[in-house]
């Protein structure tokens, strides 16, 4: 791809020095608690407790009362170790078992992360002693894990697949080098094939059936990969329709007659992979889904045929094939891995081909928090929360639908392309017709040479909010995104790489006359390109950026955007530096600078920086500050995402010379009663408290009485919200060295009677003089006297 300006990434790309993301699956949550427990019970092999917690909860402390219920009715899991109090007469009540063995109350196990871990460890220690197991090898303790599991026991391989999958995942994660490093564990290299023997191929590979006696492929022969499985499916013996799926039939009580599906439903289990598989085999569950998918590696198990009615979306069951994804929506950023996204998209592509599902009708809008009904006629691949007649909210606010759309739908070849230095291009309707409904078309303008390409849109009629044009600076969609446009015309834009790539999408109804764009290459100007781009300081919310001064520059245009944003923020500055506010924590930012020389401009020069995560109770609280007189103040998730759990930080605004600061909250939504924003009238959290805020009770407009204001935010370990959007501006104290001036109209030396005088004030500080005070004094020949109340 041709480039003129360069993002100075170099071969090291994104090896920024920053704290590990707390949403990373390998983030060492509760590391100190685990270490303390191992000190109490040194006979337990290090890491096995974390492995159980990782498999069950990704080491999150589960509090079901504050979480969305499972859409498949799974029993509730509690705490870091993921223990079940009420197995609904199918799962074992292992929380009560652990409580009895450990002597720690059910209440403490449910509410305290430390006691949850400690109770499991004490139970583990006691069961291991009862079984006479004394070993440093984690794999020797599988009988203990079976004894403490919530999954039902069964002697047959078919019904034990879920339990074996659980044990397998425990040992897989212990072998994972990233996991070992995160928790300072021994360098385990467990021989999984030796441990699981003939079951290893089932647990680790794909495209196989489960059989009580052996491992067989869908044809009944020896295990091997196949390119394609038949579309037909015979319950309960399968075979799996998807070549990469295992087959483990749901109980016949949990599905019913034949259907003709034309949609795909995306679900989140609110639990783990093995739990869902086991639950669908429960004859009393009254629920099932065609597929279940593992988060760690994207392994897929099919349990119901496509054209058999699984029970997963209520009244919409006859019309949809369902995919249950392992995880919890509240911690979706941790569970929705690259492997899961890719495997799920591949499966959706397969189902779409088998059942003639229109892949272009995959929902591609922003993540959905709560319910949002999308019509079945226009959206064929969508979340449980998008189906009508439904109360479930999965896959929730962390499922990236735009990413999923791009994985399900391969980028088509360009509808139109040109290598000419100038020309005109139209949407698919041409110069006089409308573009089509249900369209995805791409366009490439790639003139010979490296000169920038300028686009001027002379016509724009695109359905606002539903149909979109993406414009990239480059030869494909990996180029720099110039912008995403719908109801408002792009106007004139320039691609400095020397090539332009455009993608247009329309929904299933309502089209328009579309767009016409003229393009031409433009000569490189004599206005110098900025060099030596430098990130002087970057924290979770602010960044100080600079570059070398360019001779002849009158101004500079600075643009920046985070990874989740589709358009650039822009700042015009008269100096060769800028201080940015309103950044999102834990985000990768692209930024670029353009020189302005009067009416002339240079090409952009670009770089990137990464903001660290906000201070938290896990990695330590943090303090941030800004000395800008005006700026944007977001929560750590900014305008595109929720803030995170465990946050603990302060943010102080203290511009030099400010008399007071006005902060206006445009929106406010944090978890009521658990997460709090405190506002203090001064430079620290020791200053007088203005107020504490939670829920949707916005602070509104807050004015400090001094030249500083401080915010302190705390979020607990579960459930986060969109946060807030606020702006601030300071008011000057008049402390400038440029003193104000007052001119008076012509006066006599002395007045012995009434008189009139005109005062003309000049504010030389540039900050705005808001109040003046004048006093008339009387001289009696020996003293000056004045009435202060009459000034």
H or E segment at 164? Answer: helix 161-175
H or E segment at 324? Answer: strand 320-325
Using CA atoms, how far apart are residues 292 and 746, in angstroms rounded to an integer? Answer: 90
Tracing tokens 């929560």 back to the chain, one arrives at 635
Q: Does residue 781 have a pLDDT over 70?
A: no
Using CA atoms, how far apart are residues 665 and 212, in angstroms rounded to an integer? Answer: 63
Contact 344, 268 (CB under 8 A): no
Q: Does residue 229 have a pLDDT over 60?
A: no
Phi, psi of 741 (to 5 degrees): -120, 145
Residue 291 CB neighbour total at 10 angstroms: 27
Contact 647, 714 (CB under 8 A): yes
Q: Does residue 776 have a pLDDT over 50?
A: yes
Contact 514, 435 (CB under 8 A): yes
For the domain spanning 206-408, the CATH number is 3.40.80.10
Indicate the length of the chain as a whole number. Answer: 791
Identify which of 238, 236, 142, 154 has the alpha carbon closest to the alpha carbon of residue 195.
142
Using CA atoms, how far apart are residues 778 and 749, in angstroms rounded to an integer? Answer: 13
Helix (H, G, I), strand (E, B) or coil at 315: helix
pLDDT band, residue 158 (cuts 50/70/90): very low
pLDDT band, residue 227 (cuts 50/70/90): very low
Q: List the 453-461 sheet strands across, edge first.
A: 422-426, 514-521, 453-461, 492-495
Using CA atoms, how far apart are residues 245 and 206, in angstroms rounded to an integer? Answer: 6
Burial of residue 478 (number of CB atoms within 10 Å: 0-12, 13-18, 19+): exposed
Greatest mean pLDDT among 15-24, 159-168, 229-238 lies in: 159-168
Identify which of 723, 715, 722, 726 has the alpha carbon closest to the alpha carbon of residue 22.
715
What integer pLDDT is reported at residue 8 of this predicted model?
28
What integer pLDDT is reported at residue 25 of this predicted model?
85
Using CA atoms, how far apart are residues 246 and 291, in angstroms rounded to an integer? Answer: 9
DSSP 69-138: PPTT-PPPEEBTTTEES--TTTS--HHHHHHHHH---HHHHHH-HHHHHHHHHHHHHHHHHHHT---S-G
User: Average pLDDT for residues 134-160, to the nearest whole number?
Assistant: 87
Written out in words, the top-level CATH class of the domain with range 416-513 is: mainly beta
Q: Does residue 737 have a pLDDT over 90?
A: no
Q: Does residue 75 have a pLDDT over 70?
A: yes
Q: Does residue 375 have a pLDDT over 90?
A: yes
- What would you report as the CA-atom Rg of the chain, rounded to the nearest whole angstrom? 32
User: Average pLDDT for residues 396-401, to the nearest whole number?
Assistant: 93
Which residues have C-beta within 8 Å of that of residue 516, sequence separation ≥ 6?
Answer: 424, 425, 426, 427, 431, 457, 458, 459
Q: How far does CA 166 lie from the centroid of its chain?
A: 28
Which residues have C-beta within 8 Å of that of residue 132, sequence separation ≥ 6?
Answer: none
Tokens of 643: 């803030």
Using CA atoms, how far apart are residues 654 and 684, in angstroms rounded to an integer? Answer: 10
Residue 178 CB neighbour total at 10 angstroms: 11
Q: Does residue 671 have a pLDDT over 60?
A: yes
pLDDT band, residue 156 (cuts 50/70/90): low
What integer pLDDT is reported at residue 5 of this predicted model?
32
DSSP 737-782: SS--EEEE----S--SS-----EEEE--SSS----------EE-SS
Q: What is the pTM of this model?
A: 0.78
What integer pLDDT is reported at residue 293 of this predicted model?
98
Q: What is the pLDDT of residues 321-335, one digit of tens each?
A: 999 999 999 999 899
Residue 544 CB neighbour total at 10 angstroms: 14
Q: Which of 80-94, 166-180, 404-418, 579-593 has the lowest mean pLDDT?
A: 579-593
Tokens of 430: 């041409």
Using CA atoms, how far apart are residues 462 and 360, in angstroms rounded to an integer? Answer: 18
Q: Does residue 392 have a pLDDT over 60?
A: yes
What integer pLDDT is reported at residue 450 of this predicted model?
85
User: For 135-223, where are the alpha helices, taking DSSP H only?
Assistant: 142-148, 161-175, 177-182, 192-196, 200-204
Helix (H, G, I), strand (E, B) or coil at 728: strand
Pick the more confident residue, 688 or 213: 688
Q: What is the pLDDT of residues 242-252, one digit of tens each?
A: 999 999 999 99
Q: Does residue 734 have a pLDDT over 60?
A: no
Spell out the domain ranges in the chain.
31-200, 206-408, 416-513, 534-610, 622-732, 735-791
Q: Per CATH, which fold does 622-732 belong to?
A: Jelly Rolls (2.60.120)
- Distances in whole angstroms, Cα of residue 279 to Cα of each of 74, 186, 251: 7, 34, 9
Q: Does residue 454 have a pLDDT over 50?
A: yes
DSSP classification of residue 250: P
DSSP 636-666: TTTTTSPPPTTBEEEEEE--TTEEEEEEEEE
User: Average pLDDT for residues 743-763, to the nearest whole number?
Assistant: 67
User: Average pLDDT for residues 497-506, to the nearest whole number?
Assistant: 96
Written out in words, the top-level CATH class of the domain with range 534-610 is: mainly beta
Using CA atoms, how far apart are residues 195 and 585, in angstroms rounded to an integer? Answer: 43
pLDDT band, residue 769 (cuts 50/70/90): very low
Using CA atoms, how far apart are residues 768 and 526, in angstroms rounded to an integer? Answer: 39
Which residues have C-beta within 8 Å of that of residue 755, sequence separation ≥ 6?
Answer: 747, 748
Helix 273-280, helix 161-175: angle, nearest 10: 180
Classify residue 574 as left (phi > 0), alpha (psi -120 to 50) or beta: alpha
Tokens of 578: 């800028």
Q: Does residue 223 have a pLDDT over 80?
A: no
Q: What is the mean pLDDT of the chain?
A: 88
Tracing tokens 């609280």 back to the chain, one arrives at 621
Name the percent of the chain lying above pLDDT 70.
86
Q: Does residue 788 have a pLDDT over 60?
A: no
User: Average pLDDT for residues 474-484, to the nearest whole number?
Assistant: 90
Work out the end-to-end distance of the chain between its first and last CA atoms, rounded to an integer number of angstroms: 72
Q: What is the pLDDT of residues 510-529, one digit of tens each?
A: 999 999 999 999 987 778 88
Q: Which of 186-195, 219-228, 325-334 has the lowest mean pLDDT?
A: 219-228
Pick the more confident residue, 346 or 161: 346
Pick the more confident residue, 430 or 154: 430
pLDDT band, residue 645 (cuts 50/70/90): confident
Q: Does residue 269 have a pLDDT over 70?
A: yes
Same fold, 416-513 and 622-732: yes
Tokens of 718: 């579960």
pLDDT band, residue 2 (cuts 50/70/90): very low
What integer pLDDT is reported at residue 772 of this predicted model?
55
Using CA atoms, how far apart are residues 346 and 408, in angstroms rounded to an integer? Answer: 7
Cis peptide before 408 (omega within 30 of 0): no
Sign of CA dihedral 174, 175, 179, 184: positive
């Amino acid at each position: 791809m041709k480039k003129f300006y360069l993002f100075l990434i170099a071969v090291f790309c994104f090896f920024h020095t920053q704290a590990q993301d707390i949403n990373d699956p390998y983030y060492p949550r509760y590391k100190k608690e685990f270490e303390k427990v191992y000190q109490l019970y040194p006979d337990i092999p290090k890491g096995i407790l974390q492995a159980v917690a990782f498999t069950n909860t990704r080491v999150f402390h589960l509090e079901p009362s504050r979480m969305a219920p499972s859409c498949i009715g799974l029993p509730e899991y509690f705490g870091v170790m993921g223990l079940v109090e009420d197995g609904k007469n199918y799962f074992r009540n292992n929380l009560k078992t652990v409580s009895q063995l450990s002597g720690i109350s059910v209440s403490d196990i449910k509410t305290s992360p430390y006691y949850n871990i400690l109770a499991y460890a004490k139970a583990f220690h006691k069961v291991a002693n009862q079984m006479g197991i004394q070993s440093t090898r984690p794999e020797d303790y599988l009988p203990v894990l079976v004894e403490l599991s919530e999954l039902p026991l069964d002697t047959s391989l078919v019904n034990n697949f879920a339990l074996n999958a659980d044990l397998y995942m425990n040992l897989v994660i212990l072998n994972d080098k990233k996991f070992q490093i995160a928790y300072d564990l021994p360098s385990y290299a467990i021989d999984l094939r030796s441990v699981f023997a003939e079951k290893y191929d089932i647990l680790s590979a794909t495209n196989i059936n489960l059989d009580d006696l052996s491992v067989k492929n869908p044809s009944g022969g020896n295990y091997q990969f196949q390119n394609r499985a038949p579309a037909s499916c015979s319950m309960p013996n399968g075979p799996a329709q998807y070549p990469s799926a295992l087959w483990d039939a749901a109980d016949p009580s949990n599905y019913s007659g034949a259907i003709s599906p034309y949609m795909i439903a995306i679900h989140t289990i609110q639990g783990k992979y093995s739990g869902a598989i086991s639950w669908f085999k429960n004859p009393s569950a009254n629920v099932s889904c065609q597929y279940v998918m593992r988060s760690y590696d994207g392994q897929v198990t099919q349990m119901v045929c496509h054209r058999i009615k699984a029970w997963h979306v209520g009244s919409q069951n006859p019309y949809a094939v369902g995919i249950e994804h392992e995880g919890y929506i509240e911690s979706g950023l941790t569970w929705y891995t690259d492997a899961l996204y890719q495997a799920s998209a591949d499966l959706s592509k397969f189902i779409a081909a088998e059942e003639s599902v229109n892949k272009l009708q995959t929902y591609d809008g922003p993540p959905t928090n709560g319910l949002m009904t999308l019509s079945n006629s226009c959206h064929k691949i969508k979340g449980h929360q998008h189906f009508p007649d439904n109360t479930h909210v999965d896959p929730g606010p962390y499922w990236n639908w735009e990413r999923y759309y791009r994985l399900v739908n391969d980028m088509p070849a360009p509808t139109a392309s040109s290598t000419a230095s100038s020309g005109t291009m139209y949407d698919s309707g041409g110069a006089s017709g409308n573009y089509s409904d249900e369209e995805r078309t791409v366009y490439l303008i790639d003139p010979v040479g490296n000169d920038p390409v300028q686009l001027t849109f002379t016509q724009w009629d695109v359905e606002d909010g539903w149909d979109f044009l993406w414009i990239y600076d480059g030869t494909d969609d990996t180029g720099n995104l110039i912008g995403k446009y719908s109801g408002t015309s792009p106007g004139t834009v320039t691609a400095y790489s020397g090539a332009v790539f455009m993608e247009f999408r329309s929904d299933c109804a309502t089209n328009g006359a579309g767009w016409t764009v003229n393009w031409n290459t433009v000569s490189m100007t004599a206005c110098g390109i900025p060099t030596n781009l430098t990130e002087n300081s970057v924290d979770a919310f602010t960044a100080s950026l600079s570059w070398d001064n360019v001779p002849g520059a009158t101004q500079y245009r600075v643009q920046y955007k985070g990874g989740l944003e589709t358009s650039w923020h822009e700042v015009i500055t008269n100096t060769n530096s800028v201080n940015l506010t309103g950044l999102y924590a834990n985000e990768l930012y692209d930024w670029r600078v353009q020189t302005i020389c009067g009416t002339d401009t240079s090409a952009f020069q670009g770089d990137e920086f990464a903001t660290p995560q906000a201070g938290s109770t896990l990695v330590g609280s943090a303090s941030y500050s800004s000395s800008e007189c005006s700026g944007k103040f977001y929560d750590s998730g900014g305008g595109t995402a929720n803030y995170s759990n465990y946050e603990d930080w302060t943010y102080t605004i203290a511009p030099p010379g400010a008399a007071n600061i006005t902060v206006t909250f445009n929106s406010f939504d944090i978890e009521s009663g658990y997460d709090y924003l405190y506002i203090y009238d001064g430079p620290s959290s020791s200053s007088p408290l203005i107020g504490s805020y939670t829920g949707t009770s916005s602070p509104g407009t807050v004015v400090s009485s001094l030249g500083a204001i401080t915010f302190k935010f705390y979020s607990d370990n579960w459930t986060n919200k969109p946060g807030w959007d606020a702006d601030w501006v300071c008011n000057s104290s008049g402390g400038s060295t440029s003193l104000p001036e007052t001119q008076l109209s012509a006066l006599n030396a002395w007045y012995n009677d009434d008189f009139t005088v005109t005062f003309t004030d000049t504010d030389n500080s540039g900050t705005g003089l808001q109040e003046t005070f004048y006093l008339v004094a009387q001289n009696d020949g020996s003293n000056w006297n004045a009435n202060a109340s009459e000034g």
